[in-house]
Amino acid sequence: MDKKVILSGIQSTGNLTLGNYLGAINNWKKMQEDYNCYYMIANLHTLTVRNDPETLRSNTLNLLALYLAAGINPEKSSIFIQSQVPSHAELSWVLNCYTYMGELSRMTQFKDKSAKHADNINSGLFTYPVLMAADILLYQADLVPVGEDQKQHVEITRDIAERFNKIYGETFKIPEPYILKTAARVMGLQNPNAKMSKSSTLENDSIFLTDEPEVILKKFKKSVTDSENIVRYDEENKPGISNLMEIYSAITGSTKEDIEKEFAGKGYGEFKTAVANCVIEELKPLQEKYKELKSNPDYLEKIYKEGAEKAYQVAHKTLEDVYKKIGMVWL
């Protein structure tokens, strides 16, 4: 039976956080059993901001190692580096010509990133959703795992694909957003009203997957809570403690009610330590595998070369169909 196709990826900027792991990668590992999965390292998307070249190269390979260490199996999924499949950039240019300025100007991410990078509001930042659409449509993805805040990107992808199909006939599969009910929404430890981010400037706000155990413990102990000192879930009035409960629940499988009972009368200090310890134990095998992979660059090279080849075969077929339909002379 044919499996549905899933496409997802993470930018190769900075270090992956606990939020990336619990919200995305840990679910990717489960999805590869039931779907035909393409997991990319989105390094072309990083170019909307200025990067140190050596740091970007290093981050790209680190992210590959983290994908593998977290359980993404290259025999079950296609793992590839976006820039190594030229079809992404090629289809992006074509789709730019079928995307309207008004559509792009309404994208929330453009407004947010423009505010953060006021000194570098470049055209790549504006057309970022078109490259994302090319990523998705090249692999004829059925589903795109996204959070509620990313649905807009899938919606504009659908609009572009439907417009192209209407002009040239059935070319692209129309993707659906796949919002995982089991995906944890992990917020910052210092600002629990914002998602935990690789780029947070707040000290101790993010748990990184490569943080040492003592660093993880320290960050959780410093996490912002409230003065009530009662472990109780209340997202509006107790965002800090509610966030810690989300993390503990995602790792242990305990319900919010179970957690409230388990820590009744114990206070925040004991709960913070318990959350830190369960995170440390969860990340221990991943960290050990990551160190092993990083010591074997030849194996990592083999994986990304094979992954690029597998991805190219599919992406190039879609691009060929597009080029022929719009009138390009094909070799």
Report how far residue 270's alpha carbon sits from residue 331's, in angstroms, rounded to the nearest whole number.
66
> Residue 140: left if φ>0, alpha if ψ -120 to 50, beta else—which one?
left
Report the catalytic residues: 113, 195, 198
Residue 183 · residue 147 · CB < 8 Å: yes
How far CA 116 is from CA of 113, 123, 288, in Å, comes to 5, 15, 35
DSSP string for residues in 267-300: HHHHHHHHHHHHHHHHHHHHHHHHHHHHT-HHHH
Residue 272 · residue 209 · CB < 8 Å: no
**The dihedral formed by the CA atoms of 210, 215, 219 and 220, expressed in degrees to the nearest 10:** 90
